[in-house]
Amino acid sequence: MNKKELSSRETRKLIIDKSRELFISDGFNNVSLNHIAESLGMTRGALYHHYKNKEDIFINVLEEVQKEVAEYIEKKALEEDDPWEQLVYGCIAFVRKATEEDVVKLLLIDGPSVIPWSKWKEMDNNNSTKTLIEQLDILRRNNLLDNLNINHSAHLISGALNELAIYIASGNTISNEEMESCITNLLRGFKCNG
């Protein structure tokens, strides 16, 4: 990588980091390209050199958040050796991470309202749903999953977890024990009993 490419990559990272900070503190709709550019000490034209528009910046911020969430889930799931417990721990980890104020705002509140639903869903499928499908496939191969369509099941679980995260993040009180119990009981319905 030459110096110009390295400089461009570093500038893009600065734009993403600052934009993420502004989107969290002020909300997507209250942040303008001028605001982002000024907070970085650059011109709006320089910003356009790296990104098409504010939505393009937001998509990159959202991709970064989704990767961070996926890494957190994987780390927490791998604390267990048992594949079933990995699924349970991964789902619990998702809800915990997704209910962090900055994450829920970007991932589940602004995300689906800022970018087209089809794009948001594509990004979600490429991250969390894809990981769920992989884990359900491992469970199927270990005869731990009931005879259900893995793809359908992954979307059902993902939707339930997203909804629970939004419910909790909206100020509804639920203890960690209740949250873990809800998730465990939901997943138990997918477990092979034989």
Read off the CATH number of the domain in which 43 is found: 1.10.10.60
- Is residue 15 a part of any domain in this protein? yes
Q: What is the dihedral of CA 166, 19, 132, 161, to 10 degrees?
A: 0
pLDDT value at residue 29: 92
Asked whether residue 194 is assigned to any structural domain, the reply reads: no
* Judgement on whether residues 65 and 42 belong to the same structural domain of the protein: no
Encode pLDDT of 21-52 as tens digits: 999 999 899 999 999 999 999 998 888 889 99
Mean pLDDT by 10 residues, the chain (194 residues): 67 93 92 93 89 93 91 92 94 93 85 86 85 92 90 94 90 91 93 75
Give the helix, strand, coil percentages of the chain, each rounded to 5: 80, 0, 20
Domain assignment of residue 154, given as a range: 59-189
- Say if residue 90 is in the same domain as residue 179: yes
> Same structural domain for residues 79 and 107?
yes
Q: Provide the mean pLDDT of the chain.
A: 89
Residue 170 sits in a domain of what CATH number?
1.10.357.10
